[in-house]
Structure 1
């Protein structure tokens, strides 16, 4: 995933996390979802058209569609008010694909840090599935906080490291990333257990929102 695209993945995850915890309304979050979703569909399409059938380039671009379609789906739901079950089950599909891509990052691409990042994304999208697809509204706050924390861990920070040409990968760094993801999940559930923030809109957004 390109560093610029990754930066805006962090941005939209941050906004959608705030939406899930009820700090901003869904229609406000829809705008950035449309912007980033469009970017994450147009850019990989251009990359694939110019890839000359290079499997490695096509593979690198293909995963971007999972994010692009998610964000466009979110934007449409927030604007129309349609129910979110379809997005929830699509999120399960994304989670499964993210696990596969994560394994490939470890085994074939030789980028274990992004292998860990993809597995963290798999966990996040699985939580979207639980909230939207299975109506586990009790997980909405935890999912929102996990989204916010993951936006920086897997989006903003790696993007800046890539932009500054300081990104390094390896087994030790991958383990640190995985542990950081687990800590983010634990912190998210802790904040949710405290009911923070206390907002009546958090439960409302659970029916039609995700990252």
Structure 2
């Protein structure tokens, strides 16, 4: 994804995360999603038109469309007050497509940072599917995941690219560690919220029944 698009995506995802934890108004966040989504659709469309149509170039720009259409869909859904089911199933589709980018990053490009990044994005899109289509409220959990991912997968890589150090080997190795730790943290957070708390609740009910 282009660096500027990466940077703006970080801002949009950060705001979406803040909104999901209840700290920002939906319509205000929705407007910013429209700005970023429009940029992430118009810019790659123009670049594709003037390009030589190389299949790897199209593969890269298609990723930008995935983000752009997501942000446009989020923005419209929030501003119109829609139920989000369409956005949810679109997110499921993108989550599956993102796994293809994970495999391609490993098999063709041998890029573990990119593979882990796409794996995290696939997980986040799947969570967007869950909160928009299933009758369970995990908004705060998804918000925390979105806020962290906005920094480690988008904002900071973009900033490092701007100053010319993103391609350095030491940054690459550090970022494998950062992404790996974040995956472990998300798993622990999910366990705490969805399994550990239910276990305590179940034990509490048993105690009361006795």
With normalisation by structure 1, the TM-score equals 0.84
Give the secondary structure class of the aligned counterpart of 1:167.
coil
Deviating beyond 6 angstroms after TM superposition, the runs of 4 or more aligned structure 1 residues are 190-193
Show the counterpart of 2:186.
Answer: 185
Cα gap change, 1:136 to 1:169, in 2 (>3 Å): farther
CA distance, structure 2, for counterparts of residue 169 and residue 59 of structure 1: 24
Q: SS at 1:96's partner residue?
A: helix
Is 1:47–1:58's contact at 8 Å kept on the other side of the alignment? no
User: 1:149, 1:184 within 8 Å by CA — same for their partners in 2?
Assistant: no
Please say if residues 29 and 75 of structure 2, whose CA atoms lie closer than 8 Å, have aligned partners that are also in contact: yes
The corresponding residue for 2:203 is none
8 Å contact from structure 1 (residues 113, 169) kept in 2:
no
- Give structure 1 stretches of 5+ with no counterpart: 194-211
**Residue 102 (1) aligns with residue 102 (2):** yes
Shift of 1:164: 1.3
Do the aligned residues in 2 keep the contact of 1:146 with 1:188 (CA within 8 Å)?
no
5+ residue gaps, structure 2, are 195-210
1:161 is aligned to 2:160: yes
CA deviation map 1:9-51 (0-9, x unaligned):
1100000001111101100101110000001101110111122
Structure 1 position 178, deviation (Å):
3.4
Residues 104 and 177 of structure 1: is their aligned pair in 2 closer, same or farther, counting only changes over 3 Å?
Answer: farther
Query: Which protein has the larger Cα radius of gyration, Structure 1 or Structure 2?
Result: 2
1:203 maps to: none
In structure 2, relative to structure 1, the CA distance for the partners of 1:111 and 1:51 (3 Å cut) is: farther
Aligned-partner Cα distance in 2 for 1:188–1:72: 29
Q: Does the Cα contact within 8 Å between 1:102 and 1:116 map onto a contact in 2?
A: yes
Once residues 181 and 32 of structure 2 are traced to their aligned partners in structure 1, the CA distance between those partners, rounded to angstroms, is 27
Give the Cα separation in 2 of the matches to 1:163 and 1:106: 25
Contact 1:99–1:122 (8 Å) recurs in 2: yes
RMSD between aligned residues:
2.1
Which of structures 1 and 2 has the larger relative contact order (alpha carbons within 8 angstroms, sep 6+)? 1
The 5 Å alignment of 1:1-211 reads 1-137=1-137, 139-168=138-167, 172-173=173-174, 175-186=176-187, 189=190
Could you tell me how far 1:187 is from its partner in structure 2? Answer: 6.9
- 1:42-94: CA deviations, max 9, x gaps? 11101111221211111110111111111101111111111111111111011
Higher helix share: 2
How many residue pairs get aligned? The number is 192
